[in-house]
Structure 1
């Protein structure tokens, strides 16, 4: 297993970020592979952001022992006030879990400012020499939302794809009954847009490889990933 770890919420995130890293050139024959892991990979009963945060002390132990030397964390902001949603709240929970554990171990803490490094992503430094920890909160390390909100921004600007996206919005607006919650609108948009491709229901990794999604539209996230794993 690589010593570079990207910790994500679940299996769908894993497949997307694996394709994203490959497209970005972070993983190839000359670069040690980044291992993308979920909470269940690390022994949790379930995936999801709460299990990811609860698992962080184990990752800190691996950083201290040298089992891993680079760690990045990606979680959704979701929506406040539901379930501790929002960038500030989720970031605070991550910070407390990391430094709370180190304090219990009587070890130096990570330097974590009160405010996120908005839009650029956080990279936490440690005074006693532990490796940096990167944190990105989807979609853009500033606004509420989830990974699907980032994907929305990445949809190709060509006429065909934008026409499909516009018709997706028209179809959703004309639903006789809308069963999903407003906070899941981005999920409905992306799943519908995917359903209308040449390969109905195309996987997001394939949408990336076929340039239906533009990696250039996620420049801030890309720059953060490169900074963590360089």
Structure 2
């Protein structure tokens, strides 16, 4: 790999290393052209959405930057997450920012500013996170999917779940992965190994967003 003296002109920012590995695996699976880089979150001092948002004004003022994509979790408040991103973009000079991203993700170009794109996990419409998005790679009729949900329901009914209910999607996907031929394989590697492979329309929408953003 050739070392760059300057940051890549097209970048995609993600919250953490799980996001990094999942998106890299999807890009390989769907043959997304290698026209952009995903800076490794573990190279930042701290991972997570707040450090990412705090860094936006600085990153967007880089004169070498042409395109910036942002992928973050909605968590428990989709509108608050979008508002936080909007406020940072407005502080740099972006205008005509809509009230939401739209199901297809948001892409915007404004004179003298980098092209910008935002995808809010899982699908720009619902609260949730990366793990909810990854769950779309499991077919609806998968029997282990139903069983994993039954087990989690039972744990919560008995109040013996160790996880916070806001983290149920994490508990679900890792439970499901623990029951595969190679138990406990990480999400990104599970995509690469075609354990997670269902071609859901939401996954395809994400790939379309990437291709359009970096075309």
Superposed pair shares fold, TM > 0.5 = yes
**Partners of 1:24 and 1:70 in 2: CA distance:** 21
In the other structure, the counterpart of 1:197 is 180
In the other structure, the counterpart of 2:54 is 54
5+ residue gaps in structure 2?
Answer: none
Structure 1 runs of 4+ aligned residues shifted over 4 Å read none
**Is 1:172–2:191 an aligned residue pair?**
no
In the other structure, the counterpart of 1:23 is 29
SS of the equivalent of 2:119 reads strand
**Partners of 2:40 and 2:57 in 1: CA distance:** 14
**Is 1:117–2:101 an aligned residue pair?**
yes
With the length of structure 1 as denominator, give the TM-score of the two structures.
Answer: 0.81
How far 1:173 sits from its partner (Å)? 2.3
User: 1:211 and 1:39, CA in 2 relative to 1: closer, same or farther beyond 3 A?
Assistant: closer
How far 1:189 sits from its partner (Å)? 0.5
**Is 1:70–2:55 an aligned residue pair?**
no
Q: Cα deviation per residue 1:72-95 (whole Å; 9 max; x = unaligned)?
A: 00000000xxxxxx2221111111
In the other structure, the counterpart of 1:83 is none
Larger RCO (alpha carbons 8 Å, 6+ apart): 2
**Partners of 2:10 and 2:102 in 1: CA distance:** 24
Q: Cα deviation per residue 1:114-144 (whole Å; 9 max; x = unaligned)?
A: x213211111221x23231000000000111
Matches within 5 A, 1:69-108: 69-79=66-76, 86-100=77-91, 102=92, 108=93
How far 1:38 sits from its partner (Å)? 4.8
User: 1:121 and 1:215, CA in 2 relative to 1: closer, same or farther beyond 3 A?
Assistant: farther
CA RMSD of aligned residues (A): 1.9
Query: Does the CA contact (< 8 Å) of 2:139 and 2:198 recur in 1?
Result: no
SS of the equivalent of 2:81 reads helix
**Partners of 1:93 and 1:37 in 2: CA distance:** 21
How far 1:111 sits from its partner (Å)? 3.0
**Is 1:225–2:210 an aligned residue pair?**
yes
SS of the equivalent of 1:35 reads coil
With the length of structure 2 as denominator, give the TM-score of the two structures.
Answer: 0.87
SS of the equivalent of 1:37 reads coil
SS of the equivalent of 1:74 reads strand
5+ residue gaps in structure 1?
Answer: 80-85, 103-107
